[in-house]
Structure 1
Amino acid sequence: MIIAIDGPAGSGKSTVAKELSKRLGFTYIDTGAMYRAVAYKIKEECIDPEDLNAVLNLMKGIDIKLEQSNDGVKVFLNGKDISPYIRTEEIGKIASKIARFSEVRKILVGMQREIGKKSKNAVIEGRDTGTVIFPDAEIKIFMTASPDVRAKRRWEELKKKGIEISYQQILREIKERDHLDETRKDSPLKPASDAIIIDTTDRSIEEVLNQILEIVKKGNIF
């Protein structure tokens, strides 16, 4: 059983997907973390993310694994836990740049499908899980929210971590990332034709979770 959750940065999809997987006892698959793992290696090796050949050569020598934990998922790159280092705005920007390359997406989509097939049941989240990776997913959710609200959420999250950054800068970066994700030629960010769209602008995580759990029940999955 596959539940695919898509949406832009800051829509709440990661938080919802993690909690949903816990409540259902499903495997949680964070596709964006895999792009961030590649982005982390690109930064570490000082490679230009716009240089496709260099990126593809780098990908030949990397092994990415996702491991379930109480905190959601740990990301391992060549055996090293890089989870604490891949959630920065800089890594996110690099990830969006390489996500525009069809060749990069093809490699990672293959990995993601393999993880999904090995899992008996899974909640998979990202930006094209319902349109490309698992178009036959039993349930497809597309979460969205206004750019202002998404920027505020991210700003508050970073403040709690002691990271100083202006709200306006985060808002600008979110809009830039939306543009990159929505306008890329391969697998642009958009709802699947049969996805249920949930606007989280004025809703709590618990409200969204309850709605999705009701959808699961109505689908006679259990």
Structure 2
Amino acid sequence: MTGPLVIAIDGPSAAGKGTLARRLATHFGLPHLDTGLLYRVVGLRSHRTGRPPAEIAAGLDVPDLTDPELRTDAAGQQASKVAILPDVRANLLNFQRKFASQASGAVLDGRDVGTVICPEAPVKLFVTASSEARAERRYQELRERGVDTIKPRVLAEMAERDRRDSERAAAPLRAAPDAFLLDTSDMDADAAFAAALAFIERKGFRSSGP
């Protein structure tokens, strides 16, 4: 296969797309962008400062994505709120497309990478899992971080975020028609990686490493 390898990975939260994206980026030696962090930065900064989300989105750069608080559930909830705003999405579009256009290729994961950001990407994956499996993963993750919560609350918050992401007018969460559907409900990270890698290799791409 000729041309740069651009891997577009979409899916709901806690389906495993971030872990998969990082492993694929390492395997193929590609830069990786978690596009959800962009919305987390915008949501958190707008919440903290009261500045318009679109204004914040217009001035973001890669170093802005290193704040540890971006990985918290609170940041995720704020991200989902600003992600429904068309002007925010428009202001972040060029940033994401520029990242994807690197000569080396790239791996991007999010919720509209294969449908809006990189519709021409040669490899598209849609990573999903049952609500119960995703809630259990998020619950265990929160417990490991010392966050006091209960499974019903985690499931309810996840359902609300899924609703916002799938029903928003601007770039709703959905699989691209030509995306490879990867259901990780009964998979661990190694199995998900193996399935994704097999699909990518069937498309004609191979790692240049050992």
Report the residue type matching 1:63 in the other structure.
L
1:141 aligns with 2:125: yes
CA contact (8 A) 1:27 1:119 kept: no
1:45 deviation in Å? 0.7
SS in 2 for 1:153: helix
Q: Which of 158, 170, 182 is the matching residue for 1:186?
A: 170
Matched pairs, number = 202
- 1:147 to 1:119, Cα distance in 2 relative to 1, 3 A: farther
Cα distance per residue 1:109-159 (max 9 Å; x no partner): 110001111351211100000000000010111011111110110110111
SS in 2 for 1:118: coil
Residues in 2 aligned to 1:6 and 1:164: alpha-carbon distance in whole angstroms: 29
Aligned-pair identity in percent equals 35
SS in 2 for 1:100: coil
Residues in 2 aligned to 1:57 and 1:205: alpha-carbon distance in whole angstroms: 37
CA contact (8 A) 1:37 1:64 kept: no
Q: Name the Cα RMSD after superposition.
A: 1.4
CA contact (8 A) 2:86 2:170 kept: yes
Look up the match of 1:92: 76
1:120 aligns with 2:118: no
Q: Which of 55, 58, 81 is the matching residue for 1:57?
A: 55
Name structure 2 gaps, 5 residues minimum: none
Q: Which of 33, 37, 43 is the matching residue for 1:39?
A: 43
CA contact (8 A) 2:15 2:127 kept: yes
Look up the match of 2:92: 108
What stretches of structure 1 move > 6 A for 4+ residues in a row? none
Superposed counterparts of 1:189-204, under 5 Å: 189-204=173-188
Residues in 2 aligned to 1:35 and 1:193: alpha-carbon distance in whole angstroms: 25
Report the residue type matching 1:102 in the other structure.
P
TM-score, normalised on structure 1? 0.87
SS in 1 for 2:9: strand
Residues in 1 aligned to 2:145 and 2:39: alpha-carbon distance in whole angstroms: 23
TM-score, normalised on structure 2? 0.91
Cα distance per residue 1:162-220 (max 9 Å; x no partner): 11111111100000000000000111000001111111101111111111111121111
CA contact (8 A) 2:182 2:196 kept: no
Name structure 1 gaps, 5 residues minimum: 48-53, 66-75
- 1:59 to 1:27, Cα distance in 2 relative to 1, 3 A: closer
Cα distance per residue 1:55-90 (max 9 Å; x no partner): 223445x3321xxxxxxxxxx32xx841x1112222
1:46 deviation in Å? 4.0
Residues in 2 aligned to 1:129 and 1:6: alpha-carbon distance in whole angstroms: 6
